[in-house]
Amino acid sequence: MQACKLQAVPTLAGASPRGVCSVKRKVALRRAPTPGCPRKVLCSVADAARSPVAAPGWPAKDPTHFLQIDDLSRSEFDKVLQAAAVLKAKYHQRSTDFRPLEGKSMCMVFAKASMRTRVSFETGFNWLGGSVVCLEGKTVGLGEREEARDIARVLSSYSDLIMARLYAHSGITELAEYSRVPVVNGLTDYNHPCQVMADALTVQEQLGRLEGIKWVYVGDGNNMVQSMLELAAVVPIELHIVSPEGYQSTVSDQDRQKFEAIGSRVYLSSDPYESIKGADVVYTDVWASMGQKEEAETRKKAFQGFQVDEAMMTQAGPQARFMHCLPAERGIEVSDAVIESPQSIVFPQAENRLHAQNAIMLNCLGIDVS
Residues 100 and 221: their CA atoms lie apart, in Å, by 38
197: CB partners within 8 A, 6+ apart = 69, 80, 81, 84, 356, 357, 359, 360
- For the CA atoms of 352, 273, 304, 200, the dihedral, rounded to the nearest 10 degrees, stands at 10
Per the rule left: phi > 0, alpha: psi between -120 and 50, beta: everything else, 187 is left
Three-state secondary-structure class, residue 73:
coil
CA atoms 168, 174, 180, 182: torsion sign: positive
- Given the residues 4, 43, 325, 364, select the one marked as catalytic: 325
Alpha helices in 128-211 (DSSP H): 148-158, 169-178, 193-207
Residues 332 and 274: their CA atoms lie apart, in Å, by 21
Closest to 191 measured CA to CA, from 215, 175, 162, 167: 167
What DSSP assignment string belongs to 233-292?
A: TTS--EEEEE--TTS-----HHHHHHHHHHT-EEEEES-HHHHTTT-SEEEE--SS-TT-
325 classed as catalytic? yes
Residues 182 and 353: their CA atoms lie apart, in Å, by 19
DSSP designation for 181: S
The residues annotated with a catalytic role in the active site are: 325
